[in-house]
Amino acid sequence: MSLVALALSGFLLATTAGCGPDGLVGEPRSPKDAIRVTPDDSARDVPLDERLLVRVPGGRLESVRVVRSEDAGRRPVPGRISADGLSWEPAAKRLAPAAAYTVDALALDGHGRRIARHTTFRTRVPEERFIAYSAPENRATVGTGTIVSLEFSRPVTDRAAVERAVRITAEPPAEVAPHWFGKERLDLRPEKYWRPGTKVTVALRLRDVEAAPGVYGLQDRTFGFTVGREQISVVDAVRHTMTVRRSGDLLATLPITAGAPESTTYNGLMVVTEMHETTRMNSRTVGFGGEYDIPDVPHAIRLTSSGTFLHGNYWAGGVFGKTNVSHGCVGLRDVKGGSPSTPAGWFFDRTLIGDVVEVRGSDDGTVAADNGLGGWNMGWAEWRAGSAVR
Active site residues: 311, 329
The helix or strand, by DSSP H or E, that contains position 221, with its residue range, turns out to be: strand 220-227
Residues 357 and 270 sit within 8 Å (Cβ to Cβ): yes
Neighbouring residues of 211: CB distance < 8 A, sequence distance ≥ 6: 130, 152, 154, 156, 157, 158, 161, 162, 217
Q: Output DSSP code: residue 248.
A: T
* C-alpha span between 361 and 265 (Å, rounded): 9
Give the separation between CA 357 and CA 299, rounded to whole angstroms.
Answer: 15
Compute the distance between CA of residue 386 and CA of residue 376 in angstroms, rounded to an integer: 13
Tell me if residue 134 falls in helix, strand or coil: strand
Separation CA 330–CA 243 (nearest Å): 13
Paired residues of 222 in beta bridges? 203
